[in-house]
């Protein structure tokens, strides 16, 4: 993968791994693949068909979207460009956007996956469709669930699970700024209890929109959002830490691998829980290697949203890249062990119909100018806790 001029890369090991061989090799019916990404607002109608094209060529079993389908609080640039050319008007009316945004997402971003199964989780921008007041966000949450429950195993809560062979998949809902509600954490513990007692389950993959607290993405995760009520941020941090501890304790008790995926930050990072907060809480005397390291985690918010600069102060060994689009390709071995590789999407990966529909000016904007250079700092006090 070429990175010069398009991103920032940390970690020689990561550079060597891009495009490299998976530990779990394809070639038998016991090895299979799935794809994950999130945050496809802004330019998702351009980027997501490219993700689908590449992922389908890898013969994935399903695709998993981790939230933020459309911008919500404004008009996405891809929808705006098509509207402008069709109507000769500068700005798409708000009521027209609200009327068509979800249909646009389904048709332009999910339909390219064809007959392959698609699962989705809600992001915070799904809660911006109806306004910014708390009652408006709740209405938007309910409306989003109604729109997309068929991609959530029929869930009316936003959290749900499904099984593929010997892997259990869990989608958690932290689209609200307050994090996980008690009922959701109770559901998670019950689900993991079933997995612990089920010999057929070898691994658990947990996905959500915001990364669990005190990750390398601490400035844009469950530790809270700048400007949000302090109590809301505290509830988010507490509930996220409880979810992390629940997952780590399950991994210890069940001796089964846990993989944690998130988006929200518009960049790619792996090893996101290799932070002082979580590494100080592992069992350093453990004989089981799963007990002697933090949970394995990734951030993959690279499906079309305006791309962020990397957080300041990342460790030199951190594997992180930004100002690119792409998805996480997961290869599952017969024993349930999963390897993950970042696959970058370039202009050459876009289907011809996308190139014709959106044309060069918008496509150049998406790949060259869809960036946010602002610092997503780790100012929340909870990010500095050791």
* Residue 211 contacts residue 299 (beta carbons within 8 Å): yes
Task: For residue range 103-149, list pLDDT tens digits in order.
Answer: 999 999 999 999 999 999 999 999 999 877 788 899 999 999 999 99
Sign of CA dihedral 149, 155, 156, 160: negative
Residue with tokens 């990966």, as numbered in its chain = 349
Q: How far apart are CA 178 and CA 240, in angstroms?
A: 10
Name the band, by pLDDT with cuts 50, 70 and 90, for residue 285: confident
Spatial CB neighbours of 275, under 8 Å, sequence gap ≥ 6: 214, 215, 216, 218, 294
Whether pLDDT at 4 is above 60: no
Sign of CA dihedral 319, 202, 175, 232: negative
Check: CB of residue 273 under 8 Å from CB of residue 297: yes
- What tens digit of pLDDT does each residue of 319-347 get? 999 999 999 999 999 999 999 999 999 99
Of 51-55, 276-280, 364-368, 379-383, the poorest mean pLDDT is in 379-383
Q: What is the average per-residue pLDDT within 47-67? A: 98
Topology annotation, domain 12-371: Purple Acid Phosphatase; chain A, domain 2 (3.60.21)
Burial class from Cβ neighbours inside 10 Å (0-12, 13-18, 19+) for residue 56 reads middle
Tens of pLDDT, residues 256-267: 999 999 999 999
Instruction: Check pLDDT > 50 for residue 3.
Output: no
Please say whether the beta carbons of 307 and 324 come within 8 A. yes
Instruction: Give me the pLDDT at residue 313, please.
Output: 84
Q: pLDDT at position 248, please?
A: 96
State the maximum Cα–Cα separation within the chain, in Å, rounded to a whole number: 67
Query: pLDDT per residue over 192-229, tens digit each?
Result: 999 999 999 999 999 999 999 999 999 899 999 888 89
| CA–CA gap between residue 84 and residue 78 (Å, rounded) | 10
- Record the pTM: 0.92
pLDDT in tens, 233-262: 999 999 999 999 999 999 999 999 999 999
129-138 contact pairs (CB < 8 A, 24+): 129/70, 129/72, 129/98, 129/101, 132/73, 137/176
Spans of all domains in the chain: 12-371
């Amino acid at each position: 993968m070429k990175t010069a001029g398009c991103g920032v890369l940390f970690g020689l090991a990561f550079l060597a791994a891009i495009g490299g061989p998976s530990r779990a090799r394809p070639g038998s019916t016991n090895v299979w693949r799935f794809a994950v990404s999130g945050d496809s607002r802004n330019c998702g109608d351009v980027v997501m068909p490219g993700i689908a094209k590449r992922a389908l060529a890898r013969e994935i079993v399903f695709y998993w979207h981790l939230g933020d389908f459309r911008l919500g609080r404004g008009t996405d640039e891809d929808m705006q460009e098509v509207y402008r050319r069709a109507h000769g008007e500068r700005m798409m009316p708000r009521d027209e956007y609200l009327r068509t945004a979800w249909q646009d997402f389904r048709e332009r971003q999910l339909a390219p996956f064809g007959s392959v199964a698609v699962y989705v989780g809600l992001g915070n921008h799904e809660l911006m469709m109806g306004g910014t007041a708390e009652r408006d966000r709740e209405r938007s949450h309910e409306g989003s669930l109604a729109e997309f429950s068929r991609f959530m195993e029929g869930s009316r809560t936003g959290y749900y699970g499904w099984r593929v062979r010997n892997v259990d998949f869990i989608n958690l809902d932290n689209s609200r700024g307050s994090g996980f509600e008690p009922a959701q954490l109770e559901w998670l513990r019950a689900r993991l209890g079933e997995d612990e007692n089920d010999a057929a389950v070898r691994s658990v993959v947990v996905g959500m929109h915001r990364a669990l607290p005190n990750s390398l993405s601490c400035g844009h995760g469950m530790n809270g959002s700048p400007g949000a009520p302090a109590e809301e941020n505290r509830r988010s941090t507490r509930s996220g830490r409880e979810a992390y501890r629940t997952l780590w304790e399950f991994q210890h008790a069940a001796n089964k691998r846990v993989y944690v995926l998130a988006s929200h930050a518009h960049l790619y990072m792996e090893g996101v829980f290799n932070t002082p907060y979580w590494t100080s809480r592992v069992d350093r005397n453990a004989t089981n290697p799963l007990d002697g390291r933090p949970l394995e985690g990734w951030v993959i918010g690279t499906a079309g949203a305006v791309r962020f600069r990397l957080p300041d102060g990342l460790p030199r060994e951190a594997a992180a890249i930004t100002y690119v689009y792409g998805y996480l390709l997961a290869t599952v071995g017969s024993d349930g062990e999963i390897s993950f590789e970042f696959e970058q999407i370039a202009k050459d990966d876009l289907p011809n119909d996308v190139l014709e529909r959106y044309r060069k000016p918008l496509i150049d904007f998406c790949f060259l100018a869809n960036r946010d250079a602002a610092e997503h700092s780790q100012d929340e006090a909870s990010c500095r806790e050791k």
